[in-house]
């Protein structure tokens, strides 16, 4: 499955201590991407946001994990540069999220987010609970 992953999912996956026998849903998504079960779709604005957010000191993320994951993404993603939707076409709560929506729409990929309210109601938008089931 093609996926566009909102930054909050990456923060959650990297910040949480990994228990391989019982990973969090965000970690499970990352593990599925690394194992090839899902393919991540990325654009230049998405990568810039990943790099910016994941390097913020207050998040206290392991810099080695961040560096390795970003290196993996740069090599193993489908890179696209979609035409941005116009503000009057799609209303976004946070304009910084438009790049994620546009990438998902361009590739008919699932947009996986922990902030459903940040995106318009759309068949491509999904949460980790919808993707992996509620516990």
The per-residue pLDDT for 87 is: 78
pLDDT of residue 25: 96
- Both tokens of 79, joined, read 């890179």
Residues 6+ apart with CB under 8 A from 10: 26, 30, 50, 53, 54, 69
**Domain positions in the chain:** 2-130
Superfamily in which the 2-130 domain is placed by CATH: 5'-nuclease (3.40.50.1010)
Collapsed DSSP state (helix, strand, coil) of residue 59: helix
The string of pLDDT tens digits covering residues 12-36 is 999 988 888 899 999 999 999 999 9
If you count them, how many residues does the chain have? 135
- Interatomic CA distance for residues 50 and 40, integer angstroms: 13
This prediction's pTM: 0.92
pLDDT at 135 over 80: no
pLDDT digits (tens, 9 = 90+) for 39-69: 999 999 999 999 999 999 999 999 999 999 9
Question: Pick the residue with more confidence: 93 or 42?
Answer: 42
User: pLDDT at position 95, please?
Assistant: 84
Average pLDDT taken over every residue of the chain: 92
d(CA 72, CA 95): 27
Give the dihedral sign, CA 29/67/52/20.
Answer: positive
**Separation in Å, CA 101 to CA 14, 46, 68:** 22, 10, 25
């Amino acid at each position: 499955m093609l996926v566009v992953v909102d930054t909050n999912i990456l923060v959650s996956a990297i910040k949480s201590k990994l228990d391989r026998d019982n990973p969090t849903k965000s970690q499970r998504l990352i593990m599925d991407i690394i194992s090839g079960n899902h393919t991540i779709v990325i654009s230049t604005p998405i990568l810039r946001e990943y790099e910016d957010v994941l390097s913020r000191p207050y998040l206290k993320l392991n810099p080695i994990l961040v560096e390795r994951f970003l290196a993996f993404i740069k090599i193993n993603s489908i890179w696209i540069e979609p035409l941005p939707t116009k503000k009057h076409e799609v209303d976004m709560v946070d304009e910084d999220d438009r790049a994620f929506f546009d990438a998902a729409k361009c590739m008919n990929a699932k947009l996986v987010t922990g902030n459903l309210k940040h995106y318009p109601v759309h068949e491509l938008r999904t949460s980790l609970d919808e993707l992996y089931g509620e516990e």
